[in-house]
Amino acid sequence: MAIFTGAGVAIVTPMKADGEVNYEAFARNIEFQIENGTDAVIVCGTTGEASTLSHEEHLNVIRFCVKQVNGRIPVIAGTGSNCTETAIYLSREAQKAGVDGLLVVTPYYNKATQKGLKEHFTLIANAVNIPIILYNIPGRTGGVNILPETIVSLCEEVPNIVGVKDATDNFVQYAKLMALAKGKVDVYSGNDNQIVPFLSLGAKGVISVLSNIAPQQTHDICAKYFEGDVSESARLQLEAIELIGALFCEVNPIPVKKAMNLMGLEAGTLRRPLTEMEPENAARLEKAMRSYGILK
């Protein structure tokens, strides 16, 4: 059984003006997600600025999220690193915190071979006994790509590696993965503009940035598809395309934090080296939000 099906939010980590984590706002944002149909919370991923959290902050954010969610929906913690030992440490601590699963990104900077990737992920998986979703995002990892054959092999050979978040922007590779997987790999779209195409080939859902500001709508894209109403699912996907484009007109999570702040959801500041949106991009985002109906 998949850790979740549907739309899981890649939730932001709210920050105070001084750069500290804003746990009060985080609690409110988690409640907003649950009240509006989100199917899972993915904490301390790319959108959660995990790369600029200290290890202590990283784990405290995970612990807080688990406590706040309190078993109502699955919590999946990002625990990847370019250092295998660090990823093992974070993964073990996240398991102790009570998460339902882990999201482990491809090692960045080191540029591991496929053999190295297999060893890396296998060592992490063997250190815990909860499900792991691989996170394949070459654009963030120096072009390192987990090949379909490697993903399928890992899911076949390592019992608790169960799937992958695919953010490769390579639909041909995704189709090959699904052909090889034969139902053995739980796949989630890592791109909000490709939810319905991914579902059409058998994906379980999406790990979504859009869900931070439109949780019900993103949930509904998946739910309508699973109900068999593909035309309505596609309509909802296309309705969101302009907004999704605006959410990625600068590097994530710069735009989504801006969008949340415009909505009064208190995402707060960004950790450096990320900076606030350029004025012209902020205007584009605001216009798209008004057109979509989530900003008056």
Contact 12, 29 (CB under 8 A): yes
Active site residues: 135, 165
Q: Three-state DSSP class for 134?
A: strand
Distance CA 277, CA 283 (A): 9
The encoded tokens of residue 222 equal: 């998946």
Residue among 280, 226, 274 nearest 254 (CA): 274
Contact 168, 131 (CB under 8 A): no
- If one counts every other C-beta atom within 10 angstroms of the C-beta of residue 122, the result is 16
Dihedral sign of CA atoms 163, 167, 168, 173 in order: positive
Q: Three-state DSSP class for 132?
A: strand
DSSP for residue 45: S
Residue among 253, 239, 251, 252 nearest 288 (CA): 239
Contact 245, 193 (CB under 8 A): yes
Q: Report phi then psi at 131, rounded to 5.
A: -65, 145
As beta bridge partners, residue 136 has 166
